């Protein structure tokens, strides 16, 4: 097989750059894009001026402000970012139909067979600049996706780096193993403990040891350390089979008020149900995830005899699951890795203990999905529910989400529906 | 400081190079001549497309929204330095 040519395009400080483009007064300043700046939140993205102060994505905003008190906080605007991302992907498709959307600000392009590879990369950058004058990107070029992504990281911002197959070995001798996409801090720590520091070390590591330590993925890690990656560029419209759908919400403040959390749960259940119906799915396993103050995270699930796409039905199961939660009294599966007995009871800053059930984030999901074609039901209640959902969906499609909804969803705990109401599409 | 406004406004536009460019707006009884469109993006309200424009008169930043179905303009936000 002839060598492939893969591009990885990574928009530089995307969200922050969009905000600096929107507001000229922010250009050249340290900008932090976050959730609602009035509530507790983390850094979603920051400008290069802010990065110079050591601010990183995911950092708590209060810590970022300590590092750079003059940083400007801007509430994120997903609508704008999504729209610009769609236009960027359309630009990429002017150059090749083989475009894989890796994230909102990253894409892989299969440019195999293109003459003038580097000229094409410059043309893409120029096209982006033509449309969005102040947005820049780093382009990495390599014989596969792994190398292309690694190459784009080598020069930021506004970079263009090509790594040919013959140059990989020398490059890997000096690159730390965590440079490889997929090697996060925990895996890096384990590899470092084994004496694997560079990418080349990983490529040379004995198969038997990697298999023993990591199981079957040990072989994949070794291949990565040798610069191999046969994964294809998956086109934009090629999607994995949907295995779950979910929504989560971080509350504006920790609360022990289970009724208030229940109202959030209802709204999330309605959102999940609406998405299921929109994509003609029903599911029969309902998941609830709860994160408490202190970040201990727990989940429960329950499989039902029938598949559902009704928000109220999902909510009823989710609410029963929520009511079984208590990290201090019940044996539950703790994602944090801490056993309940070791969790310290949370306290307010002044030392007074908070309610043990103070909840920070809640999420609802549905899995074990099946495609669903609507059929008439002989059960009057069921048919009524189907018709109600049908007309609610028609109204909300026309006028916007939650234009028509259950009265219990109109709750003060839930702000206007924009911002980072995260949702997940499982695979 | 960003202030939410959400008021109907009159907007003068130029159809230019296949797109729409706001050139002035009338708000609080005053006509404001716009110097630059800094950003455009789209959203949706139900099935209707909403075209957003971030514009400046050199002093303030305005966010305008055109409802493509109703062909009405709203001033959604104003940012003062």
Q: Compare CB distances from A83 to B36, B41, B54 and report the shortest one's residue.
A: B41
Question: A interface mutation test: which of B3, B35, B46, B57 has the most A CBs within 10 A?
Answer: B46
Does any CB of chain B come closer than 8 Å to the CB of residue A25?
Answer: yes
For residues A138 and A162, give the distance between their C-alpha atoms in angstroms, rounded to a whole number.
Answer: 11
Based on the fold, state whether residues A106 and A174 are members of the same structural domain. no
* Range(s) of the domain holding residue B72: 2-79
Query: Any CB–CB contact under 8 A between A416 and chain B?
Result: no
Q: Do B61 and A23 touch (CB under 8 A)?
A: yes
Same domain, A129 and A172: no
Which one, of A265, A332, A254, A240, lies nearest residue A294 by Cα?
A254
Query: How much is the pLDDT for A384?
Result: 78
User: Which residues of chain A lie closer than 8 angstroms to B36, CB-CB?
Assistant: 24
Q: pLDDT (tens digit, 9 = 90+) per residue, A397-414?
A: 777 777 888 777 766 554
Note the pLDDT of residue A10.
97
Query: What string of DSSP letters covers A83-147?
Result: HHHHHHHHHHHHH-S-EEEEETTEEEEE-TT-SSHHHHHHHHHHHHHHHSTT--EEEEEESSHHH
Q: Do A23 and B41 make contact, defined as CB atoms within 8 angstroms?
A: no
In chain A, the residue whose alpha carbon lies closest to the alpha carbon of B39 is A22
- Same structural domain, A292 and A367: yes
CB-based contact (8 Å) between B38 and chain A? yes
Considering the domain architecture, whether residues A285 and A209 belong to the same structural domain is answered as: no
Clarify whether residues A94 and A196 are in a common domain: no
Number of domains in chain B: 1
Looking at the fold, whether A185 and A329 belong to one and the same domain comes out as: no
Q: How far is B68 from chain A (nearest CA, A)?
A: 13
- The ipTM is 0.86
Residue of B nearest to A78 (CA): B43
Tell if the CB–CB gap between A83 and B43 is shorter than 8 Å.
yes
d(CA B54, CA B37): 6
Q: How far apart are CA A28 and CA A6, in angstroms?
A: 33
Quick one: A181 and A272 in the same domain?
Answer: no
Instruction: Please answer yes or no on whether A24 and B46 come within 8 Å at the CB atom.
Output: no
pLDDT of residue A356: 52
Q: Are residues A266 and A395 in the same domain?
A: yes
Q: What is the CATH number of the domain that holds A383?
A: 3.30.1490.100
pLDDT value at position A414? 44
Rounded distance, CA B60 to CA B81, Å? Answer: 7
Q: Tokens for A18?
A: 């969009």
Three-state DSSP class for residue B20: strand
Q: Is residue A393 part of a domain?
A: yes
Q: What is the CATH number of the domain that holds A139?
A: 3.30.70.270
Residues A398 and A306 in one domain: yes
Active centre residues of A (catalytic): 106
The reply to whether B46 touches chain A by the CB within 8 Å rule is: yes
Output the CA–CA distances (angstroms, integers) from residue A156 to A123, A152, A395, in the order listed.
18, 8, 46
| Same domain, residue pair A301 and A376 | yes
The four Cα atoms A343, A345, A351, A357 give a dihedral, to 10 degrees, of 140
pLDDT of residue A315: 94
Same-domain check for residues A10 and A150: yes
Domain containing residue A210: CATH number? 1.10.150.20
- Judge: B41–A403 Cβ closer than 8 Å, yes or no: no
| Residue ranges making up the domain that contains A177 | 168-225
The residue among B35, B38, B68, B80 with the most chain A CBs within 10 A of its CB, best to mutate, is B38
A39–chain B Cβ distance below 8 A for any pair: no
Domain count, chain A: 3
CA distance A381 to A146: 53
| Residues in chain A closer than 8 A to B42 (CB atoms) | 83
* Of the residues A122, A146, A162, the one at which a domain ends: A162
Q: How far apart are CA B11 and CA B20, in angstroms?
A: 11
Q: Assign A424 to helix, strand or coil.
A: strand
Look up residue A168 and give its two tokens.
């990989």
Put simply, the answer to whether A23 touches B81 (Cβ < 8 Å) is: no
Tokens matching residue A52: 């110079």
CB contact at 8 A, A146 and A230: no
B15 in A contact zone (CB under 8 Å)? no
Residues of chain B with pLDDT under 50: none
CA-based Rg of chain A, rounded to a whole angstrom?
24
Of B46, B61, B81, the CB nearest to A398: B46
pTM: 0.69
Chain B positions touching A135 (Cβ under 8 A) are none
Give residue A338's pLDDT.
39
- The DSSP annotation for A237-301 comes to T--PPP-EEEEEEEEEEEE--HHHHHHHHHHHHHHHHHHHHHTTEEEEEEEEEEEETTS-EEEEE
Inspect the interface and report whether the beta carbons of B39 and A83 lie closer than 8 Å: no
The pLDDT profile of chain A, 427 residues, written as one tens digit per residue, is 568 999 999 999 999 999 999 999 999 999 999 987 777 688 989 999 999 999 998 888 989 999 999 999 999 998 899 999 999 999 999 999 999 988 899 999 999 999 899 999 999 999 999 999 999 999 999 999 999 999 999 999 999 999 999 999 999 999 999 999 888 888 999 999 999 999 999 999 999 999 999 888 888 899 999 999 988 898 855 445 677 889 888 787 788 888 888 889 999 999 999 999 888 889 999 999 888 776 677 788 899 988 889 999 999 999 998 888 764 443 333 444 434 433 444 443 344 444 456 788 889 999 988 887 666 566 677 777 778 888 888 888 777 777 888 777 766 554 443 333 333 334 3
Q: Which is it for strands A359-371 and A244-255: parallel, antiparallel or unpaired?
A: antiparallel
Last residue within a domain, chosen from A162, A188, A212: A162
Interval A146-174: pLDDT, tens: 999 999 999 999 999 999 999 999 999 99
A265/A319 Cα distance (integer angstroms): 7
Hey, are the CB atoms on B42 and A83 less than 8 Å from each other?
Answer: yes
């Amino acid at each position: 097989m002839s060598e492939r040519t893969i591009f990885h395009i990574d928009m530089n400080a995307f969200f922050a750059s969009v905000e600096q483009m929107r507001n000229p007064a922010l250009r050249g300043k340290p900008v932090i894009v976050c959730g609602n700046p009035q509530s507790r939140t983390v850094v979603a993205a920051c400008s290069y001026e802010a990065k110079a102060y050591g601010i990183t994505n995911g950092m708590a905003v209060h810590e970022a402000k300590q590092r750079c008190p003059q940083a400007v906080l801007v509430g994120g605007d997903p609508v704008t970012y999504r729209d610009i991302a769609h236009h960027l992907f359309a630009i990429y498709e002017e150059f090749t139909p083989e475009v894989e959307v890796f994230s909102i600000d990253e894409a892989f392009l299969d440019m195999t067979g293109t003459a003038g590879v580097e000229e094409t990369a410059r043309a893409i950058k120029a096209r982006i600049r033509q449309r969005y004058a102040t947005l820049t990107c780093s382009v990495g070029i390599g014989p596969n996706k792994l190398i292309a992504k690694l190459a784009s990281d080598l020069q930021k911002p506004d970079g263009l780096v090509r790594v040919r197959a013959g140059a990989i070995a020398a490059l890997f001798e000096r690159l730390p193993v965590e440079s490889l996409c997929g090697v996060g801090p925990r895996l890096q720590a384990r590899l470092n403990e084994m004496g694997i520091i560079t990418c080349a070390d990983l490529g040379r590591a004995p198969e038997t040891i990697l298999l023993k330590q990591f199981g079957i993925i040990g072989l994949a890690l070794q291949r990565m350390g040798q610069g191999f990656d046969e994964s294809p560029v998956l086109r934009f419209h090629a999607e994995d089979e949907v295995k779950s759908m979910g929504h989560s919400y971080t509350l504006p403040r920790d609360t022990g008020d289970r009724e208030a959390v229940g109202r959030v749960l209802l709204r999330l259940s309605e959102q999940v149900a609406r998405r299921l119906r929109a994509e003609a799915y029903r599911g029969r396993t309902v998941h609830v995830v709860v994160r408490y103050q202190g970040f201990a995270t727990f989940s429960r699930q329950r499989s039902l005899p029938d598949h559902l796409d009704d928000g109220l039905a999902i909510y009823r199961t989710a609410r029963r699951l929520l009511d079984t939660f208590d990290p201090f009294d019940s044996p539950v599966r703790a994602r944090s890795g801490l056993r309940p007995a070791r969790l310290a009871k949370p306290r307010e800053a002044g030392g007074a203990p908070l309610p043990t059930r103070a909840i920070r984030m809640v999420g609802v999901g549905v899995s074990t999905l099946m495609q669903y074609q609507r059929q008439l039901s002989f059960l009057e209640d069921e048919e009524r529910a189907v018709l109600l959902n049908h007309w609610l969906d028609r109204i909300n499609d026309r006028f916007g989400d939650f234009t028509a909804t259950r009265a219990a969803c109109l709750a003060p705990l839930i702000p206007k529906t924009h911002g980072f109401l995260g949702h997940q599409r499982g695979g | 400081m960003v202030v939410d406004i959400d008021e109907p406004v009159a907007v003068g536009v130029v159809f230019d190079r296949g797109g729409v460019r706001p050139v002035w707006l009338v708000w609080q009884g005053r006509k404001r001549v716009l110097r630059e469109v800094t950003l455009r993006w789209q959203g949706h309200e139900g099935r209707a497309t909403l075209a957003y424009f971030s514009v400046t008169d050199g002093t303030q930043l305005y966010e305008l929204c055109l409802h493509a179905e109703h062909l009405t303009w709203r001033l959604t936000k104003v940012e003062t330095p």
